[in-house]
Each structure stands twice: as structure tokens, then as C-alpha cells.
Amino acid sequence: MSEIDLEPAGVVVPAAAIAARLPVLATEIVDAYGDAVDGIVIAPVMTGAFIFAADLVRRLPNRLRVDVATVRSYGRGTISQGPRVEGVMPEVKGLHVLLVDDILDSGRTLTFLRQQMIDRGAASVRACVLLRKKVPAALATPCEFIGFDIDDVFVAGYGLDYSGWFRNLSDVVSLRKIGVKTSLVR
């Protein structure tokens, strides 16, 4: 039996929409930070945010630092198990931090990381996500910059994965069990 039991079901956010949204999102970030934008720490949440973060930081001013935060919330499934640190957290004492994540659904990862950065002495902590699910927990979680709001379906592509698979897709897609006609809804 194959290790992959899901397949793409349909495009949720096309690559062209992501490409159009990135410069607008970068402008929102620069405007919000004002003078502090020169020298902020970008903390992408690995590994899901690596493509989004790479495309975003190329549109931001030159003086910034990128230090990844490796946190895992999913095992081999489609339900979050809650965040846990898997590596070294960035040094942020006295610095402005922008957390960059792929998706906001339960809010646990961003809440956890925001507190980690505050505990490490960050001057300020803001968050930017590519996707926010239209569910109460996500909508209630503070997040200053949002790429797209999406329905409550399990998605992959543009860095997001299912058990490590599908990160390479240019579009964000919904997934379904192989041979089943409907997308997975959580």
C-alpha cells in the first residue's frame, strides 16, 4: 500500500492569486512597522512556511534577519496535536519579531510562538499567515497580517503538506482520500 492516501481535489488559492497578494501584504507590513521595519526579525515557522516566507521577505526592506522557528503541530495526520518546539528558537531580546506561518486554524501555534518570543524579551511580536481558516478559533487568534481567508478544508501546496507530501505544488489545494469525490473537511 502507498504511504500517500490523499490526493489533490481542487484549487483553493491559485498561484496567480498568491503572487498578486504578496506585494500588497509586504506593503501592509512595511506600513505597520514604520521606522522599525528596518531591522526586524522574520521568524518563519518551519517547515510549512518556508516557501511563503522566502517569497515574502524578498519584497521587504534589506535590513532584516531571518531566523526560523521550528515547531511541529501535526504528526502523520490531518488533526493538529498542539505545538512543540523542535529545534533552537531565535534570539530576539529587544528586537521586533514578525512570525510568518503557513496556516492559522486552531491558533495554538501562533499563540505558543508569540508567548515564546515575549518570554525571550522581544520588543514586539506580530504575526503574518498565508491562510486563515474561517473557524472560530482562528478568527479569535490575534494575527496582524493575513494573506487569504479559506473554508475549513485540509489543504496542501505552496509549502503546506500532508505527511511531508505536496509542499511543491504552486497552488494551495484541498485534499481528498484517493478514490473519494469530496475534499477533506475538518
Q: Please identify which of the residues 105, 149, 152, 161 carries the catalytic annotation.
A: 105
Does residue 100 contact residue 43 with C-beta atoms inside 8 Å?
yes
**DSSP character at residue 155:** E
Find the largest Cα–Cα distance for the chain: 55
- All residues at 6 or more sequence positions from 16 whose CB lies less than 8 Å from its CB, including other chains: none
Which class for 155: exposed (0-12), middle (13-18), buried (19 or more C-beta within 10 A)?
A: buried
Q: What is the C-alpha to C-alpha distance for residues 137 and 121, in angstroms, rounded to an integer?
A: 26
What torsion, rounded to 10 degrees, do the Cα atoms 129, 69, 36, 141 define? 40
The yes-or-no answer on residue 105 being catalytic is: yes
Residue 167 identity: R
Catalytic (active-site) positions: 105
